[in-house]
Amino acid sequence: MCSYRQTAWKYDTFDIFFAHTVMQILYGETPANPTMMVLDVEGFAALGKAHPQLITMIDATFSSPYLLQPLKYGVDLVMHSW
């Protein structure tokens, strides 16, 4: 299972975790607070598409909507701050 201390998501590990869990939303934050780690948005969206029952959601509070547009990569929901 992924943790905030890891430097990258391990998608194969997530697949194993998902097989034993009932999930509805796959949530990610990029850049993450307070670590400022950056999520691979394309890989994140692809993971969500591989599991069609999931809704993918990105919290992009620390990134400008002008610079980061996860909807273009297939993410279902995006949050930005004003």
5 in a structural domain: no
State how many domains the chain has: 1
Which structural domain range is residue 53 located in?
11-79
4 in a structural domain: no
Long-range contacts: 78-81, Cβ < 8 Å, 24+? Answer: none
Sign of CA dihedral 33, 25, 60, 81: negative
pLDDT tens for 44-57 read 999 889 888 889 99
23 in a structural domain: yes
pLDDT tens for 25-74 read 888 888 888 888 888 899 899 988 988 888 999 998 888 888 899 999 99
54 in a structural domain: yes
DSSP one-letter string for 8-57: S--HHHHHHHHHTS--SEEEEESS-TTT-----HHHHHHHHHHSTTPEEE
Sign of CA dihedral 56, 35, 72, 79: positive
6 in a structural domain: no
Give the global pTM. 0.70
1 in a structural domain: no
Query: Is the predicted pLDDT of residue 2 greater than 60, yes or no?
Result: no
